[in-house]
């Protein structure tokens, strides 16, 4: 692909003027104005040149999202476009930070509004606070549930106050027979314990109940509270019954946006009917020297080719459908996208599906091709940082940071092909929707998730697939390699893992990754988790450690290859397999299981052929008693669930692999380790996570780039 030497450059600055010329000396004030000028240049026959839009540092406060369509495409020509070189020629529209931008002076495309005019007040509880009057809120034209102060997220007051470590517990579900009601039973009301919901709540209809149950979090407003019967009615029913999981125990929950709990520095409360914002400043903050921003837009950037409407389908299964021309050849470099809030309609509010898939992204792409985001930052947003929908192809996110997100990081949804997420730092999610994933891939194909650092999410780190069972699916051929994924779950939800897969995924490979510190609330804090129908996946040369449950768990699937991995320091068992089927579920060979438990297997096991062979098992916390070998045996080898496996594949051994310092995360093996003698091949994870900064080039493909499929 040849580079373009002729470039038309347009300049934009927060201090510019849209009546200017777009030159360096007289820049435009908005990206929209620069895009309009770029379209004019194409109309004048200058479409043979690339367009470069340079953004000066500072915050651009958007009144509406930036919208790019087919008319904003760069030039993509086939091999005959350049007769001399006979190469594919791509001339991008590039929107980029001005050269020399530094962290404190990058261009920020903000969907929020800065709030000023604070005055010092004393709250009813004697706490000193600031107060600002917002007439748009008073008139019902603006409402927000997030706030950022000096670039940091601030939280609304909750009960209990430390909701991440302490929650209330639902007592019962009136009208629901828990002996017969399935898990997917909507719940309209619940019984609460005496004192959990205070009497006389200020603006009780604005208080939100957040339940943590199964693998989802339900967020609903209190519609009515009956203190005589201690029952609370929700404004929308929950998607699943409000029990902890499939048992009868009521779900844990907390209350958010409680005026009576406003007492800690950094907390804030919006009195919507009165139009008053209250904020308790932290030490050193002053009204004149503090930047306070509240979100006003759902999205900052929308890029879309020609699409058909999705009809009445819900957002998690609908969204526009690719049709006609794509938006082609656009690059964003060094730009920050920030400050959004998602306001769901009733259908979306009552959905609450797995992975918060119904929650949109602050940056939204549909039917775009050959588009790339390099060195960009997406943060301080409500839903997912980025969402790619049907028709997206050959899209790259390289060296980007996605952080402080209300749900998850990057969502690649149905109908996408060849999306690369490389060398990114994706972290600090689940602030509003606890079920968001670091990376979520649906029925897409050929995606690569390489060299990323993903951490601090309340649900799964990486999730791939959206088909429960063995039906034909368009999810295949993904590559997940050299990622560092840790501090996942954080004790908030169940049934999750460092990486989670669903359905038939021919050609998907998960290799050279490190997953550690996976903590579930109840069940299911696994490292690598092939769930329902996961099939034909290669899982090799991965390290998992410090997981609540086994480092590997397959619910059910077919012919997955699990080889040469280290599964260490799990607290519950060495290995989990929970559904017996009349076929080979997985070939588990050459792995090291090093876990502080005598329990070998969680679930069920049906040995078929040599599906478990040459594995090493060891419990470092319970060594053999040299005086009496029958006491302190390191493993339950007489467990009948496991005995048949050893009888079929006789090369599994019990031995100390002699890791160098596993408690410190060093799993180096000595040359004479029993694991190496058994055939284990040590692998190098020193290069996991983002590589030294180097702008990735778009992938080259053997087919001509002007061929559309």
pLDDT of residue 605: 64
Tokens of 12: 């934009």
Region of 638 on the Ramachandran plot (φ > 0 left; ψ -120 to 50 alpha; else beta):
alpha
pLDDT of residue 192: 98
Spatial separation of the C-alpha atoms in residues 550 and 570, rounded to whole Å: 5
Enter the pTM of the model: 0.93
Task: Look over the chain and give the mean of its residue pLDDT values, rounded to a whole number.
Answer: 89
Which 3 state secondary structure label does DSSP give 269? Answer: strand
Task: Give the percent of the chain with pLDDT over 90.
Answer: 76
More confident residue, 351 or 222: 222
Tokens of 664: 């410190």
Tokens of 210: 């957040």
More confident residue, 456 or 637: 456
Which 3 state secondary structure label does DSSP give 534? Answer: strand
Spatial separation of the C-alpha atoms in residues 438 and 489, rounded to whole Å: 11
Consecutive H or E run containing 32: helix 31-43
CA 594 vs CA 329, 418, 504: distances in Å: 49, 36, 30
Consecutive H or E run containing 530: strand 525-530
Mean pLDDT, rounded, for 614-639:
61
pLDDT of residue 651: 82
List the strands of the sheet with 410-412, edge to edge.
66-68, 301-304, 361-366, 384-388, 410-412, 439-441, 462-464, 496-501, 525-530
> Which of 141-155, 298-312, 330-344, 428-442 has the least mean pLDDT?
298-312
Q: What spatial distance separates the first Cα and last Cα of the chain, rounded to whole Å?
A: 20
pLDDT of residue 702: 36
pLDDT of residue 567: 98
Cβ proximity of 601 and 639 under 8 Å: yes
For 88-116, write each residue's pLDDT tens digit.
445 789 999 999 877 778 999 999 999 99
pLDDT band per the 50, 70, 90 thresholds, residue 308: confident
Residue 622 has pLDDT above 70, yes or no: no
**Cross-strand bridge partners of residue 95:** 53, 332
Cβ proximity of 606 and 584 under 8 Å: no
Consecutive H or E run containing 479: strand 479-481
pLDDT of residue 323: 82
pLDDT band per the 50, 70, 90 thresholds, residue 79: very low
For 447-472, write each residue's pLDDT tens digit.
999 999 999 999 999 999 999 999 99
Spatial separation of the C-alpha atoms in residues 494 and 572, rounded to whole Å: 14
CA 377 vs CA 31, 236, 300, 490, 630: distances in Å: 17, 34, 12, 24, 58
pLDDT of residue 703: 32
pLDDT band per the 50, 70, 90 thresholds, residue 348: confident
Task: Give the percent of the chain with pLDDT over 70.
Answer: 88
The DSSP code for 344 is -
Spatial separation of the C-alpha atoms in residues 72 and 367, rounded to whole Å: 13
Residue 255 has pLDDT above 90, yes or no: yes
For 466-513, write each residue's pLDDT tens digit.
999 999 999 999 999 999 999 999 999 999 999 999 999 999 999 999
pLDDT of residue 347: 75
Spatial separation of the C-alpha atoms in residues 366 and 315, rounded to whole Å: 13
**CB within 8 Å of 598: residues ≥ 6 apart:** 619, 622, 633, 634, 635, 636
More confident residue, 629 or 335: 335
> Which of 189-203, 262-276, 572-586 has the least mean pLDDT?
572-586
**Cross-strand bridge partners of residue 123:** none
DSSP labels, 357-419:
TTS-EEEEEESEEEEEEES-EEEEESSEEEEE-TT-EEEEEES-EEEEESS-SEEE-TT-EEE
SS3 of 428-456: the string is CCCCCCCCCCCEEECCCECCEEECCEEEE
Tokens 């004149």 belong to residue? 288
């Amino acid at each position: 692909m040849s580079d373009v030497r002729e470039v038309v450059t347009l300049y934009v600055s927060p201090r510019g003027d849209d009546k200017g010329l777009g030159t360096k000396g007289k820049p435009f004030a908005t990206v929209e104005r620069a895009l309009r000028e770029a379209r004019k240049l194409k109309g004048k026959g200058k479409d043979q040149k690339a367009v470069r839009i340079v953004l000066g540092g500072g915050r651009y406060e958007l009144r509406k999202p930036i919208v790019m369509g087919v008319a904003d495409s760069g030039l993509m020509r086939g091999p005959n476009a350049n007769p001399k070189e006979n190469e594919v020629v791509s001339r991008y529209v590039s929107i980029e930070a001005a050269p020399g931008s530094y962290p404190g002076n990058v261009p920020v495309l903000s969907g929020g509004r800065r709030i000023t005019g604070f005055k010092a007040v004393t709250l009813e509880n004697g706490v000193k606070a600031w107060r600002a009057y917002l007439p748009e809120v008073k008139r019902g034209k603006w409402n927000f549930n997030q706030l950022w102060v000096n670039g940091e997220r601030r939280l609304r007051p909750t009960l209990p106050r430390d909701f991440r470590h302490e929650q209330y517990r639902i007592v019962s579900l009136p009208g629901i027979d828990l002996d017969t009601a399935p898990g997917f039973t909507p719940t309209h009301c619940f019984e609460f314990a005496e004192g959990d919901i205070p009497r006389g709540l200020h603006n009780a209809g604005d208080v939100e109940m957040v339940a943590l149950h199964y693998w989802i979090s339900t967020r609903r407003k209190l519609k009515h509270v009956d203190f005589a019967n201690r029952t609370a009615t929700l404004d929308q029913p929950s998607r699943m019954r409000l029990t902890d999981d499939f048992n009868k125990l009521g779900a844990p929950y907390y209350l958010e946006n409680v005026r009576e709990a406003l007492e800690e520095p950094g907390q804030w409360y919006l009195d919507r009917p009165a139009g008053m914002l209250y904020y308790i400043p932290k030490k050193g903050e002053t009204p004149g020297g503090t930047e306070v921003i509240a979100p006003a837009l759902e999205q900052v950037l929308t890029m879309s080719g020609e699409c058909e409407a999705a009809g009445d389908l819900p957002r998690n299964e609908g969204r526009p459908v690719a049709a006609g021309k794509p938006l082609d050849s656009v690059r964003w470099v060094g730009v920050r996208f920030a400050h959004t809030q998602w306001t769901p309609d009733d259908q979306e509010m009552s959905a609450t599906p797995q992975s918060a898939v119904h929650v949109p992204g602050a940056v939204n792409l549909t039917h775009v091709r050959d588009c790339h985001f390099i060195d960009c930052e997406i943060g301080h947003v409500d839903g997912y940082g980025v969402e790619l929908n049907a028709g997206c192809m050959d899209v790259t996110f390289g060296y980007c940071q996605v952080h402080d997100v209300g749900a998850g990081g990057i969502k690649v949804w149905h109908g996408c092909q060849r999306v690369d997420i490389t060398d990114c730092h994706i972290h600090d999610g689940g602030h509003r929707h606890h079920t968001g994933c670091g990376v979520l891939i649906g029925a897409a194909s050929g995606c690569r998730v390489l060299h990323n650092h993903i951490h601090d999410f309340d649900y799964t780190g990486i999730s791939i697939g959206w088909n429960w069972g063995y039906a034909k699916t368009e999810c295949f051929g993904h590559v997940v390699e050299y990622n560092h994924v840790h501090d996942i779950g954080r004790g908030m939800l169940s049934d999750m893992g460092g990486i989670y897969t669903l359905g038939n995924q021919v050609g998907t490979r998960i290799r050279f990754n490190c997953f550690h510190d996976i903590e579930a609330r109840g069940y299911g804090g696994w490292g690598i988790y092939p769930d329902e129908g996961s099939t034909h996946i290669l899982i090799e040369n991965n390290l998992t450690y410090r997981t609540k449950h086994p480092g590997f768990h397959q619910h059910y699937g077919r012919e997955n290859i699990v080889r040469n991995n280290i599964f260490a320091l799990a607290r519950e068992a060495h290995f989990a397999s929970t559904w017996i089927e009349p076929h080979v579920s997985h070939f588990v060979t050459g792995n090291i299981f090093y876990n502080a438990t005598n329990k070998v297997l969680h679930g069920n096991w049906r040995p078929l052929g040599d599906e478990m062979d040459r594995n090493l098992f060891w419990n470092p916390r319970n060594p053999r008693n040299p005086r009496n070998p029958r006491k302190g045996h390191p493993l339950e080898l007489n467990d009948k669930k496991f005995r048949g496996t050893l009888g079929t594949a006789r090369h599994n051994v019990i031995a100390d692999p002699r890791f160098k310092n596993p408690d410190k995360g060093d799993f180096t093996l000595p040359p004479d380790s029993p694991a190496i003698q058994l055939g284990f091949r040590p692998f190098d994870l020193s290069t996991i996570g983002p590589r030294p900064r180097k702008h990735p080039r778009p992938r080259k493909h053997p087919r001509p780039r002007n061929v559309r499929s």
